[in-house]
Structure 1
Amino acid sequence: GLSLLALLVSCGGQKAATDTEQKGKKDVDVAVYKKYSRPDNSTQAKWETLNCHDPKLFQDDDGTYYIYSTDAAMGNGGAKGLQIRKSEDLVHWESLPKSMIQDNWDEQWLEWCGFNDVTASSWAPTVIKQHGLYYMLHGICVGASDGTHHNAAIAFAIASSAEGPFYPAHKAASADEKIGQTLASLGVSYTQSVFVRYAFVDRSDDPFENELVTKYPSLNTGSYDTVSREDWGDGSWSGGFGAIDPEFVFDVATGKLMTYQIGGNECYAVTYGSWKGGIAVMYVDSVSLKPVDSRGTELDVPADSVDGSFGVIVAGGNGAAYEGAQVIYNSDTGYYYVFVSMGDLQWEYRIGVGRSAELEGPYSDTSGNPMVLDVSRANDYHSYGGKILPAAELAGEYPFRSQGGQSILRTADGKIMLACHSRTNFTPEYYFFLQLHQMFFTPDGWPLLNQNEYYNDYDGADERLAPLSVQDVAGTYDVILTERSSETKAVKFFGDSSGRIAHVADALPATSKELVLTKGKNGGKLKGAYKGSWTLMDDGYSIRLSIDGTGDFQGYVLNSVDWAKKGTSGSRKTISFTALDAEKTGEYIWGNRKNQ
């Protein structure tokens, strides 16, 4: 035995040394290695990507990236009024110690929501820039005293700096000289700042102290049928649009906001909604950003006060747990895309996608299923929406789940980026992290994500689609093939002593399988967990995987960085593919090549 060992060491010594060197070599920035190794919650300025929920990705004119996000953190720490992070490269993030609102709360909005200056907080902001000013919509949903009849509202605020402070629209002109001068030059003024509201029942008879809150009736209630656009008369969990998660509709091919003619007025489109009656799209004046009625007339009252002004349904409905939506347009493909976050955000959140030729729908998912859910399908909502970013665990790596609260941006240099938050199966559920993924579109017009988090330096080049050879791509991969299901059962998460009822296909990270891409002339065979063939197209980055008995998956292969590997050393650069079978199953497949 000793002589055999000596022979192996003698013959393999040089290779063993090389492998050891490679194993300990760091080939990417230290930010990749430390992100999940030692999360720090001591102070907000040290959070970096930790404690980021419902991220809004925004790029200012000077190129600086910002993430604006919900008031959420372990132990409810941090400055209330929406978090701010900034970055120069989408990889290194600085968490600012101040908030967006900085105690400049809208008293009307607080009263509707049942808050005061001490208890105030907010969720899921969105920001656009025009006329040299920064315009924000933000909202929250709160339970009433009986614990059942929820209220929600979206408010409107303006700032002269990307880092705030953001003032309620009707106070902004007097609070900030630049805002006042700009609004005056535009001929714009505001009498109130509540954008749209939701209530289980109309609250116009409630004893509000603020007259402006009292005098606006609310039509967006639990008795409003979002499909027929009629009032049922009785409150229901399935009625009305939940007034949180606002987002503007823009073209990812150009980065420009989409405009629509409503009664001769140029308008933008805004989506919002959570659970209840589904996801809505409504319209706002393109200059003032005030809601408009069906004739395109600007409103100085909350949109839910005027019939036909607070939106039409484009996804979800009948109580299905869809929220956090964003609709984008892609003028290169000719489609609108609706992205929703679905399920319980702590256990089973996931992103679903559908598309339509028209803004107001109908939207269908990657399997052709309607994204608006009738009564017969609402309970099975986890079965719908293309599973573009699954909960996953590659062999020997960190497991991630509950990705959602997504935001999409076209950067100044032409990348399409998706930001989301993610929970893990290696920390308690109150740990959540910011993640960013680059988005691509297949030739037949469906979005794909690099399932690895974005990285910006590949020998001096950005993450991109670039020619690779068959030899580059061939190898052994850890792969995930998505599956959608509405099956529920008790599931244990990190630190749980007992199970929680959850949708299994989204709550439990899918475990990777091993797939070998053999080397042939223009591709090769598939061996291992799946059998079939693969082809690398002439451009060197388009790939087709034909899996026997399953379907044909079309997508892309590219250089990536594996942020999910464990440990603080070793190579993180890899080759990955991401693809979709849009013809048969509507499922996605992706994989990372094992280090060779």
Structure 2
Amino acid sequence: MTTSTWGGRHVHDPTVVRDDDGTYWMFSTDARSDGPVRAGVQVRTSRDLVRWELHGWALDGVPGPAADWSGAEGLWAPEVVRAGEPGPAEWRMYYSASTFGSRRSAIGLATAPHPSGPWTDRGVVVASDHAAARAGFRHPNAIDANLVSERPGGRQWLVYGSFFGGIYALPVDPATGFVVDAPEPGALRSAPGTLLARRPRLADGAVEGAFVLPRPDGGWALLVSYDSLAGTYHLRAAVGDEVTGPFRDRGGRAMTDGAAGTEGAGATEQAAEAAGEGAASGVDPWQVGMPVLASHRLAGGPGLLAPGHASVLTEPGRQLLVHHVRDADAPTEHRVQVRRLVWTHDGWPLVSPQPWAGPDRENDDTATWPSSPAVLGGTWEVLDVGAATAKVVDGRTGALEEVLDGALTGVGRARPLGAGRFTFAGAAGSAAPTRRWTAVVFPAWDAVRDRATLCLTATDDAGRVVTGTRVDDR
């Protein structure tokens, strides 16, 4: 098997960490688009988050306990975090073992003294089972782990789950990395945890790949992937005061809408499924969650299909969204992309329309980011994020006040809020009331035109999101 030319290809469900010497380490699902899977979690390295080299695999196949329970032939969606500070570092990797369409799954834990390894399996952290669900016990699918620390040395949570049952949070013992009071695999009792997000059967229960991160001024943001993995997959966001929620989108809709009544410890799986029909809340399941990244094509660039299953790398002065994406013209081909994640003045996460170009081409000094509304003039290529997640949306070029059906009127009277932040009023449509927009404008690198430019990402108070790349000469 030739791997020397892989680079960032064959990456699915990625997470990235940085070691003490500045090397970035990426861990991803056992997936290839051109042949059989080699199991054990793919590991890559980079110095700039642009060029990647395959380092190898973290583990020699699927560890025995997880394999025995799940029957998995590969590992999915690794989450890698650093523990042991202060003191000797210990790196912890949470991996998922499952098979498509099954709830007989397990999240396991492996540890290492360094991201390069050697990795030692420590066993199963939490498991799920169809049999327990059929017996009336709440068993969300045990995949897609995300470890959340409230603060250094504070409480920790394992956020996990997918289509079967939704997204949940479980308390974790920081000393061991294991879930507190997790049932043994096969135990006929409900799995512990708090429901964070769920979609009804009307939407195929399609929510997975959760990542929870702190907001700049307090509270938490939840990122999740919606819909079909190889087609309509896309990323949405919501915010809440606690890691355990409740999380609501920009329009105030709860991420559990359509699943009312499933949070209680005594709720049965049958009751949860019944509530999941969507009729209980009357909320359209395709409207819940603020879309922040979806399939698109910028003029002259490749079509990018089904971006999602994101993690966030936080470093001094910047945060970067790490996700996979597929080739719109060859949907089996998947690879990694990295994008800047920014926050609006009122604490909502938004994503750059351009991929990260590396530290030599990007500007993290927010003191130099635009402060005058004049930067909103000129010609922009704008994407209406989430407008039609069932297709690759093309960018539209023109003045901001001319594109997107007049939604962005009022930019000429934008109010600056510092560090590239602006607010302005704009109509939601010809017959709709005026809405308030909040935007972030920042330096970026145009990957299509291969030059420095400005990017914009903005949301209105109902949760419509647009992104833009300035395409004229500044």
**TM-score normalised by L of structure 2:** 0.84
Checking the alignment, whether the CA contact within 8 Å between 2:17 and 2:80 is kept in structure 1 is: yes
Larger Rg computed on CA atoms? 1
Report the 3-state secondary structure (helix = DSSP H, G, I; strand = E; otherwise coil) of the residue aligned with 2:331.
coil
Name the count of aligned residue pairs.
Answer: 436
Q: Cα distance 1:304–1:59, how it changes in 2: closer, same or farther (>3 A)?
A: farther
What is the 5 A alignment of 1:156-305?
156-169=109-122, 193-202=123-132, 221-224=133-136, 231=137, 240-250=139-149, 256=151, 259-260=154-155, 268-293=156-181, 302=184, 305=187
**Cα distance in 1 between the residues matched to 2:385 and 2:126:** 37
Aligned-partner residue type, residue 322 of structure 1: V
Instruction: Give the CA deviation at 1:247.
Output: 0.7
Aligned-partner SS, 1:381: coil
Whichever residue aligns with residue 288 of structure 1, its letter is: T
1:9 maps to what in 2? none
Q: Find 2:402's aligned residue among 523, 527, 532.
A: 527
| Residues 1:106 and 2:10 aligned together | no
Q: Which stretches in structure 2 are left out of the alignment for 5+ residues?
A: 260-275, 430-434
Question: Per-residue CA shift, 1:404-432, capped at 9, x if unaligned?
Answer: 11111211x23111100011323x11111
Q: Could you tell me which residue of structure 2 aligns to residue 397 of structure 1?
A: 301
Question: Does the Cα contact within 8 Å between 1:140 and 1:152 map onto a contact in 2?
Answer: yes
The structure 1 residue matched to 2:451, chosen from 544, 551, 572, is 572
Query: Quick one: structure 1 residues 317 and 198, their matched pair in 2 at CA, closer, same or farther if it must change by over 3 Å?
Result: farther
Counterpart in the other structure of 1:481:
384
TM-aligned CA distance change 1:160 to 1:472, over 3 Å: same
Match of 2:323 in 1: 420
- 1:155 matched residue in structure 2: 108
Report how far residue 530 of structure 1 moved.
4.3
Q: CA RMSD in A?
A: 2.6
Aligned residue runs from structure 1 range 285-434, under 5 A: 285-293=173-181, 302=184, 305=187, 310-319=192-201, 320-330=205-215, 332-372=216-256, 373-374=258-259, 375-377=276-278, 380-411=284-315, 413-426=316-329, 428-434=330-336
Where does the alignment leave 5 or more consecutive residues of structure 1 unmatched? 1-41, 170-192, 203-220, 225-230, 232-238, 261-267, 294-298, 485-504, 518-525
Matches within 5 A, 1:535-550: 535=414, 537=416, 539=418, 541-550=420-429
Counterpart for residue 126 of structure 1: 79
Deviations, residues 215-257 of structure 1 (Å, cap 9, x unaligned): xxxxxx3444xxxxxx3xxxxxxx6201100011146xxxx55
CA displacement at 1:452 relative to structure 2 = 0.9
Call closer, same or farther: CA 1:457–1:247 in 2, change over 3 Å. closer
The change in CA–CA distance for 1:348 and 1:159 in structure 2 (over 3 A counts) is same
Q: Is the 8 A contact 1:126 1:136 kept in 2?
A: yes
| Cα contact 1:292–1:309 (8 A) shared by 2 | no
Task: Please say if residues 272 and 280 of structure 1, whose CA atoms lie closer than 8 Å, have aligned partners that are also in contact.
Answer: yes
SS of equivalent residue, structure 1 residue 108: helix
- The aligned counterpart of 2:51 is 92
1:158–1:275 CA distance, 2 compared to 1 (3 A): same
Query: How does 1:486-525 map onto structure 2 within 5 Å?
Result: 505-517=388-400
Q: Shift of residue 474 of structure 1?
A: 2.5
Distance 1:552 1:112, change over 3 A: same
Partner-residue secondary structure (3-state), 1:110: helix
Counterpart for residue 449 of structure 1: 351
> Deviation string for 1:296-319 (max 9, x for gaps)?
xxx6x6488485663121101544
Q: State how far apart, in whole Å, the 1-side matches of 2:180 and 2:361 are.
A: 50
- Which of 455, 467, 470 is 1:590 aligned to? 467
State the shift of 1:438 in Å: 1.3
CA apart distance, 1:463? 7.2
SS of the residue 1:201 aligns to: helix
1:305-356 per-residue CA deviation (whole Å, 9 max, x = no partner) reads 48566312110154411111112222x3222111111111011101111111
Between 1:70-79 and 1:318-327, the stretch displaced more is 70-79
Aligned to 2:2: 43
Task: Supply the AA of the counterpart residue of 2:195.
Answer: I
The C-alpha deviation readout for 1:431-490, integer Å capped at 9, x for no partner, is 111011111111211111122111234678547562335565531111112345xxxxxx
For each residue in 1:347-394, what CA deviation from the matched residue of structure 2 results, as whole angstroms up to 9, or x when unmatched? Answer: 110111111112222111121111013234389533221101122222
Structure 2 SS opposite 1:431:
strand
CA displacement 1:546-570 (0-9 Å, x = unmatched)? 333443321211221122x2xxxx5
> Going by fraction, where is helix more abundant, 1 or 2?
1
State whether residues 303 and 309 of structure 1, in contact with CA within 8 Å, keep that contact through their aligned partners in structure 2.
no
